[in-house]
């Protein structure tokens, strides 16, 4: 396998992992902030059930994003940068100036990267901190979206050195409907029961 093919394979793996993290984040965000009053009412009346699903999706997004910035992980942009360096497995394919520019850029995101790595390492993976302690680690939607964009930019930037168009789509649908579907089903079921009762008492 050529160096170029090796890099493309690693970029593809990073992309697929990013898409999973992105979908998880979008769905968690929807379950935290449903757009319609009907969905909001359903969420209020079924909060405990939805809380579990929101937590699973949020954890999946955080774990996926944290992996990109841990040098020991397989799908890590930090690890790939080391391979692209002058002494690395994929050396001399991407200019070392570009590798160093990306390393410098990553340092500008140290604060939020450290937060998600702390959550993954000490709360979600090993439970070294308590739930109450984890609440003190403030990570906002804008922070997650910022890191998603950062990884997308990295993939697109490195791809340019192969004279190859990035074939992956960055767009994901956000028109989730599960709460609306469940609310409609519950309303229909309630109406059916009422109608059956009315028939019974006639």
pLDDT value at residue 140: 76
In angstroms, the CA 119 to CA 63 distance is 8
Instruction: Specify the DSSP class assigned to residue 148.
Output: H
Count of domains forming the chain: 1
- For 33, the domain range is 3-201
Residue 97: CA atoms inside 13 Å, Cβ hemisphere, count?
A: 1
Instruction: Specify the DSSP class assigned to residue 127.
Output: -
pLDDT value at residue 65: 93
In angstroms, the CA 126 to CA 122 distance is 5
- pTM of this prediction? 0.80
**Residue 32 near residue 54, CB atoms below 8 Å:** yes
* pLDDT tens for each residue of the chain, 202 residues long: 788 888 888 998 999 999 999 999 998 888 888 888 888 888 888 877 778 888 889 889 999 999 999 888 888 999 999 999 988 889 888 899 999 999 999 999 999 999 888 888 777 765 655 565 655 567 778 899 999 999 999 998 998 887 655 555 555 556 777 777 776 767 677 665 666 656 667 6
Residues 6+ apart with CB under 8 A from 167: none
Residues in the chain: 202
């Amino acid at each position: 396998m050529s160096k170029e093919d090796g890099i493309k394979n690693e970029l593809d793996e990073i992309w697929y992992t990013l898409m999973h993290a992105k979908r998880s984040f979008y769905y968690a965000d929807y379950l935290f902030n449903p757009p319609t009053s009907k969905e909001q009412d359903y969420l209020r009346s079924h909060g405990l059930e939805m809380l579990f699903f929101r937590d699973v999706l949020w954890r999946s997004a955080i774990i996926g994003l944290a992996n990109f910035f841990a040098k020991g992980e397989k799908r890590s942009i930090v690890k790939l940068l080391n391979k692209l360096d002058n002494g690395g497995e994929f050396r001399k394919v991407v200019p070392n100036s570009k590798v160093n520019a990306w390393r410098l850029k990553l340092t500008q995101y140290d604060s939020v990267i450290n937060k998600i790595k702390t959550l993954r390492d000490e709360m979600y993976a090993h439970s070294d901190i308590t739930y109450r302690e984890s609440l003190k680690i403030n990570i906002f939607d804008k922070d997650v979206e910022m890191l998603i964009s950062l990884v997308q930019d990295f993939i697109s930037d490195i791809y340019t050195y192969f004279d190859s168009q990035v074939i992956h789509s960055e767009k994901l649908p956000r028109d989730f409907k599960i709460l609306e579907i469940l609310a409609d089903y519950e309303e229909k079921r309630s109406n059916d029961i009422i109608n059956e009762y009315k028939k019974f008492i006639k």
